[in-house]
Amino acid sequence: METPVLDVKKLKTSFFTDDGLLTVVNDVDFHVNAGEVLGIVGESGCGKSVTSLSIMGLVPALTSKVEGEILFKGENLAAANEKRMRQVRGNEIGMIFQEPMTSLNPLFTIGSQLIEAIRIHNKKVSKKQAKVQAIDMLKKVGLPRADELIDEYPHQLSGGMRQRVMIAMAMICHPEILIADEPTTALDVTIQAQILELMKSLNKETDTAIIMITHDLGVVAEVCQRIIVMYAGKVVEEGNVSDIFKNPKHPYTIGLIQSVPDMREKKDRLFSIRGNVPKPGSLPIGCQFAPRCDHAHEKCLKEAPDLKALSSGQKVRCWLYTEEKEQII
């Protein structure tokens, strides 16, 4: 049995709002093994970003509540103080976001930001040594003319180059996990493919586990080994990428896969799942996907299903699958 580097148990994140306490991540269980690439997929608003912010201790402390356990190599980060979380962030768990401009400081050169990141985490490194490491890292993420780039400002770079700098920033302290939240969503398709290629090769070279958060199943197919599918704050399916693409179980997963544009088939209109993700304040009782589901029956509208393990190794949260019946759709 592999030991997970991250083991999230019954994670529940709620926000205190004008409309009362809104739970946006509910009972989320998943793990990430060392060196593995795990995908978290689901439409916008399903709680993917809040899940990752909860792991990093970045949900606003005064207006939110995080329950459950976030076990990082056995240590429960949900109970860690801010001082400890500052060590974890960047050093032990790195993170990159969709829009690199929000995490890069426009007033400082690329080099000074990388050098600072190195020296915050290891005070013994001299400025000169840190500069050498920074240039090395820029080369590693495939940036040309790294020794000039180090003196440039974020706005002088293209979007794809900025995202490479962000990856360099996140990887420079050799984190054990890299959380990438829609890292390629803002980029055009060619650049997106290059960034994914880069992340795959960094994962292989450094053995850093990656949590790839995306609404795009194409991204998942490209880089992940295992995925969890989230819907309305819950995990509705979990399994190996190949199993899920070949044989998706949850009607939501099936819908997501059918919505992926297929270049080989020319269709006039692309399939899309009818309806919308429910807002956290107005979740239906019963199965949260039932109002959008073509297979919903009476029970689905009344009772919420649990996540069940199937003999195939996949897990699914759906009343269509019971102990006796595992293959319905």
Note the residues at the interface with ligand ADP (CB under 6 A): 15, 17, 22, 24, 42, 44-50, 279-280
For residue 270, give the amino acid letter.
L
Task: Tell me the CA distances in angstroms from 143 to 14, 95, 164, 275, one per residue in order.
Answer: 40, 19, 7, 43
Q: In this complex, which beta carbon is closest to Mg ion, that of residue 67 or of residue 216?
A: 216
Pairing assessment for the beta strands 315-316 and 234-240 based on DSSP bridges:
antiparallel
Produce one character per residue of 262-288: b if its CB has 16 or more CB atoms within 10 Å, e if not. Answer: eeeeeeeeeeebeeebbebeebeebbb
Closest contact distance (angstroms) between CB of 213 and Mg ion is 7
For residue 200, give the amino acid letter.
K
Q: In this complex, which beta carbon is closest to Mg ion, that of residue 48 or of residue 162?
A: 48
Closest contact distance (angstroms) between CB of 312 and ligand ADP is 26
Closest contact distance (angstroms) between CB of 233 and Mg ion is 12
Q: Say if residues 154 and 165 touch (Cβ distance below 8 Å).
A: yes
- Supply 221's token pair: 């197919």
Pairing assessment for the beta strands 4-17 and 64-72 based on DSSP bridges:
antiparallel
Task: Tell me the CA distances in angstroms from 173 to 63, 92, 113, 164, 179, one per residue in order.
Answer: 31, 8, 13, 15, 14
Q: In this complex, which beta carbon is closest to Mg ion, that of residue 49 or of residue 163?
A: 49
50 binds, among ligand ADP, Mg ion, none (CB under 5 to 8 A by kind): ligand ADP
Closest contact distance (angstroms) between CB of 19 and ligand ADP is 9
Q: In this complex, which beta carbon is closest to Mg ion, that of residue 26 or of residue 113?
A: 26
Question: What residue is closest to Mg ion based on CB?
Answer: 49
The DSSP symbol for 228 reads: E
Q: Which residues are CB-contacts of 166 (< 8 A; sequence separation ≥ 6)? A: 96, 97, 100, 103, 104, 183
Closest contact distance (angstroms) between CB of 38 and ligand ADP is 15
The site for Mg ion (CB under 5 A) is made up of 49
Question: What residue is closest to ligand ADP based on CB?
Answer: 49
Closest contact distance (angstroms) between CB of 292 and ligand ADP is 16
17 binds, among Mg ion, ligand ADP, none (CB under 5 to 8 A by kind): ligand ADP
Q: In this complex, which beta carbon is closest to Mg ion, that of residue 49 or of residue 133?
A: 49
Q: In this complex, which beta carbon is closest to Mg ion, that of residue 49 or of residue 54?
A: 49
122 binds, among Mg ion, ligand ADP, none (CB under 5 to 8 A by kind): none
